[in-house]
Amino acid sequence: MKKVLVFGACLSAIAFITGCGPSLNRIETDWYAQAGQILTTQLNACQSARMTKSELVMRVGAPTAKEVLDDAEIWIYQINAQGATVSETIYTSGSLWNKPTSSTSTATPVYRASITVKFSKKGEMNGWAMEGDHVALYHRNNRFWGLTAPQR
């Protein structure tokens, strides 16, 4: 009986250490994948409906930057999302002659991404691209969340 209990405890410890079962990282990854599909679907619908520049400005605001090409215009929306402040304290043990010390450092990460929208000379959306950190793209401050295609 003791062998069975010890064996079960060992298996439980191995499962805990190796991370068997759903982990927060996997749950976050699934959420980001689902959020990516939603944002992609929204942008594809806007492209299919040939959303105009004025309609995009009404829905998400003015772009961060614009570039004019011979046959198109490129609008770039920069998205910055501020993460939670992380604090780390490092303790050093003392010795016979030195006292124990500690030092604390804090950092606030900033996640950056961009959504680039391409318009034809007629002013109709005919392409888009997303790049950068997925945390910024799917952050609640991203103005593109809830974007709907115009009804024609």
* CA–CA gap between residue 83 and residue 136 (Å, rounded): 9
List all residues 6 or more positions away from 52 whose beta carbon is below 8 Å from its beta carbon.
Answer: 123, 124, 125, 150
Q: Which residue has the higher pLDDT, 43 or 3?
A: 43
* CA–CA gap between residue 130 and residue 149 (Å, rounded): 18
Helix residue ranges per DSSP H, the chain: 2-18, 24-48, 53-60, 134-137
Return the pLDDT at 31.
Answer: 67
Bridge partners, residue 80, by sequence: 112
Instruction: Residue 105: name the closest of 120, 93, 88, 90 by CA.
Output: 88
Return the pLDDT at 125.
Answer: 95
**Lowest-confidence segment of 15-19, 75-79, 117-121, 122-126 by average pLDDT:** 15-19
Return the pLDDT at 17.
Answer: 47
Return the pLDDT at 20.
Answer: 47
Per-domain boundaries in the chain: 2-137
* CA–CA gap between residue 34 and residue 119 (Å, rounded): 27
Cβ atoms of 76 and 64 closer than 8 Å? yes
Is 70 exceeded by the pLDDT of residue 124? yes
- List, for residues 35-88, the tens digit of each pLDDT value: 778 888 889 999 999 999 999 999 888 999 999 999 999 999 998 877 777 777
Q: What percent of the chain has pLDDT over 70?
A: 75
Prediction pTM value: 0.65
**Confidence at 136, pLDDT banded by 50, 70, 90:** confident
How far is residue 93 CA from its own chain's centroid?
Answer: 39
Return the pLDDT at 26.
Answer: 61
